[in-house]
A and B are shown apart, each in its own frame.
Chain A
């Protein structure tokens, strides 16, 4: 149980294009999902908290107009990197917390984004 998937697992795009990453909780409902970014040999940095049916809460320094988050259902959150540039190349990881609980977050397998 408690499986979180991400799609795609990797993507290569040209500079200036937009890329959408999906995060799904497969066997549980998640009111809250989180998006992280991880650069090589570094830790996970929280980008934003995604709440079903409401606006996402972004961490300081994260541009909300560049990283669009939509959490339209209890099992799906999407992160769209708009007008991607090479510096956006990173490993994007989502996590989900089961609705009605305040505990463990379950992580997805990550999405490797490479912007040329």
Chain B
């Protein structure tokens, strides 16, 4: 079936380094993508989104890249901090207003 998946289930980085979290999606009809951060025991927190007509979008310390050719999405976190430790999910919506489909998640661990 169609799904949004992640390449790596866990990622460990040193504090201050940059982090890159990857996500592959299978449905070329998806037109809106969102990255969420989920801390233990809490609900997902919106980080950044990108529409399919864009290939890059920047926020505060975060950048999302979209490569529609290979159906790949990535989240880059600059100068990773201990507070960035969490599980990160990519999610897709196949049309605005549609259902969110979540990927498997990547657990980011930041070493001090």
Q: Give the interface size class of chain B.
A: 10 to 19
Say whether A76 faces chain B, with CB atoms less than 8 Å apart: no
Contact B99 A104 (CB under 8 A): no
Contact B45 A107 (CB under 8 A): yes
- Give the residues in chain B near A13, CB-CB below 8 Å: none
Say whether B24 faces chain A, with CB atoms less than 8 Å apart: no
Chain B residue at minimum C-beta to C-beta distance from A104: B46
Contact B100 A43 (CB under 8 A): no
Contact A104 B44 (CB under 8 A): no
- Give the residues in chain A near B102, CB-CB below 8 Å: 43-45
From known contacts A43-B89, A44-B89, infer whether A93 and B100 are also in contact, taking CB-CB under 8 Å.
no
- Give the residues in chain B near A107, CB-CB below 8 Å: 36, 43-46
Say whether B92 faces chain A, with CB atoms less than 8 Å apart: no
Say whether A34 faces chain B, with CB atoms less than 8 Å apart: yes
**Of the residues A4, A6, A46, A110, contact of B100 by C-beta under 8 Å:** A46
Main secondary structure of the interface of A (DSSP, over half): strand
- Give the residues in chain A near B49, CB-CB below 8 Å: 104
- Give the residues in chain B near A93, CB-CB below 8 Å: 43-44
Sorted nearest first, the 7 A-B pairs with minimum C-beta distance are A102-B97, A107-B43, A102-B96, A43-B102, A44-B102, A110-B43, A107-B44
Interface residues, chain B, with chain A CB atoms under 8 Å away: 34, 36, 41-46, 49, 89, 96-97, 99-105
> Can you spell out 13 A-B residue pairs with CB atoms less than 8 angstroms apart?
A4-B43, A34-B99, A43-B103, A43-B104, A44-B89, A46-B99, A46-B101, A91-B41, A106-B46, A107-B44, A107-B46, A108-B43, A110-B42
Q: Given A42-B104, A45-B102, A46-B100, 7 other A-B contacts at CB below 8 A?
A: A43-B103, A46-B101, A49-B99, A104-B46, A107-B36, A110-B42, A112-B41
